[in-house]
Amino acid sequence: MASLLFVFLMLPLLGCLFVLFSKKDGYNAFNVAFFTLCTGILAILKLFSESRIVGSDFLYSYQWLKHPNVVFTFGVDIFSLLLLLGVYISAVIGLVGLSSVQRKSKSLLLLVLYFIWNMSGLLVVRDIISFYLFFAGMQLPLFMLIGSHANIKKSSTLSLFFLFNLVGSLLLLISILTVYRYNHGSVLLSHIGILDIPTIPQFIVLSGVCTAFVLRIPIWPLHNWISFISSGIKNPLIYILTNLLPLSGLYGFIRFGQVIIPTELNAFVPIIEVFGVLTMMFIALIGLSHKNFLQKLFSYSTISYLLFLLSKLLLDDKYQMNMAYSLFIFLIVNASLAVLDLFAENAREEAGCDYRGVLVYIPRLSKLFAFFVLMAVGLPMSSMFWNNFVLISALFRESFVTGLWVMAAISLIGLALIYELYIMRDVPNNTVQKYELSDISDRKLIFFAGITLVLFLSFFNPLWFVF
């Protein structure tokens, strides 16, 4: 299994190499990227079966340096594999959503594969040094993607994005250097809270780590950078990758475990809880009032991430797999909605249509779009329904007031998505010009039909594809 895990981690880098030397004209780079991600999905499915054989957790260590003592430790379990599978399927969905012109961009596909490599490494490493390398490594390719391919016009928005992520990386680096001073070597993520470190340095380490993760999650008042970025992106793949960035902060909280919140930091948990709930309500109201569907989708993804964060901070570890099942479906649904909405938006612009009810002219896309919206708002069409229900019920038991505010925010953003779907499916009257908009192709229809089938089957058994 160690060799399979190593091959899986090297796949995106190997794909980068092939993309780099591929021909400039044509779709060679796109084919390489698509093949690389699909091969990664097959490797993840194989790792599912292997992890079941060897146990719930598998660790593999590699001695990188002896002086200083740096040991890279990798590991997979069902939780990390579910997130990996969701990330890879989301990236494939983003590739499918690219236009013919975007598919010919070597730099775009090269940076995408490099970002996926960092994301993959982040989700499987178990020592703090490796975690930092991948955590910080995600920033550069995404910054270059947004700056060169996302058509973000305001330079201040990019500066804000870079600044927030840079501060988070520096805080995590300071924490690592502090740990190294007292430990003189690599430390497992699960051991960082139980090291023999004096109280003040330990407080610096844990508060720095927590702050670095919070800066990756769009929580008020630190949410503006990703809000400004997401609302202006018209490339579906870059939009999907940008909305994967908060997953790195959420995963950091989850993987570091309960030891990351010792007695010294217990006072900060209610503060994060209050700001998290306030952010959920604030973002839900913005989504309800905004006309742009991508802004509504950003609000939906933000509220979802904060739901998982509050679940991690307030609930026991026994709910961790419920979070994994929900995250797996959430990543796929969010990516599918982004691709379908941008396809409808591009079709509207090409036809010169100024009417919002465009889905009435695109029957194939209309059905798929409605399915994913209904799944996102919580109808029982996937395992996300059951697992979100479990998480929200547990939050109610833990704190009725928190559960009530969380439920209110989820209801508001659900109403916003449903209302937008109603508007986009509104049948125009006779005074509205008739438009001819291009529908999705047969290949894309088959692809998204397969995605809907996978999600629907997860309602009966979340891991039916391996167990």
Residue 208 pLDDT class (50, 70, 90 cuts): confident
Q: How is the chain split into domains, by residue range? A: 267-467
- Read off the pTM: 0.91
Averaged pLDDT for residues 225-244: 78
Q: Which two tokens stand for residue 235?
A: 């490339």
Q: What pLDDT score was predicted for residue 316?
A: 81
Residue 235 pLDDT class (50, 70, 90 cuts): confident
Lowest-confidence region among 10-14, 94-98, 110-114, 164-168: 164-168
Averaged pLDDT for residues 218-240: 73
Closest-CA residue to 341 (of 284, 283, 301, 379): 301
Q: What pLDDT score was predicted for residue 54?
A: 46
Q: What pLDDT score was predicted for residue 467?
A: 62
Residue 55 pLDDT class (50, 70, 90 cuts): very low
More confident residue, 354 or 295: 295
Averaged pLDDT for residues 23-40: 89
Residue 448 pLDDT class (50, 70, 90 cuts): very high
Query: Does residue 223 carry a pLDDT above 60?
Result: no
Distance (Å, whole) CA 91 – CA 335:
8
Averaged pLDDT for residues 141-162: 74
Averaged pLDDT for residues 292-312: 88
Query: Does residue 291 carry a pLDDT above 60?
Result: yes
Percent of the chain scored above 90 by pLDDT?
25
Q: What pLDDT score was predicted for residue 463?
A: 77
Q: What pLDDT score was predicted for residue 58?
A: 64
More confident residue, 4 or 436: 4
Query: Does residue 269 carry a pLDDT above 60?
Result: yes
Distance (Å, whole) CA 287 – CA 279:
12
Residue 266 pLDDT class (50, 70, 90 cuts): low
- Exposure b/e, 374-394, CB count within 10 A at least 16 = b: bbbbbeebbbbbbbbebbbeb
Residue 130 burial (10 A CB sphere; 0-12, 13-18, 19+): buried
Give pLDDT tens digits for 102-126.
Answer: 888 888 999 999 999 999 999 988 8
Residue 226 burial (10 A CB sphere; 0-12, 13-18, 19+): buried
Give pLDDT tens digits for 236-254.
Answer: 899 999 889 889 988 988 8
Closest-CA residue to 305 (of 210, 399, 406): 406
Mean pLDDT estimate for the chain: 82
In Å, how far are 343, 441, 443, 451 from 364, measured between CA atoms?
Answer: 12, 9, 12, 15
Averaged pLDDT for residues 343-349: 84
More confident residue, 253 or 222: 253
Residue 393 pLDDT class (50, 70, 90 cuts): very high
Lowest-confidence region among 12-21, 318-327, 354-363: 354-363
Q: What pLDDT score was predicted for residue 430?
A: 53
Q: What pLDDT score was predicted for residue 110?
A: 93
Query: Does residue 229 carry a pLDDT above 70?
Result: no
Distance (Å, whole) CA 414 – CA 436:
30
Give pLDDT tens digits for 419-432.
Answer: 888 888 766 665 45
Query: Does residue 371 carry a pLDDT above 60?
Result: yes
Task: Map tokens 């975690």 to a residue.
Answer: 131
Averaged pLDDT for residues 125-134: 86
Percent of the chain scored above 70 by pLDDT?
85
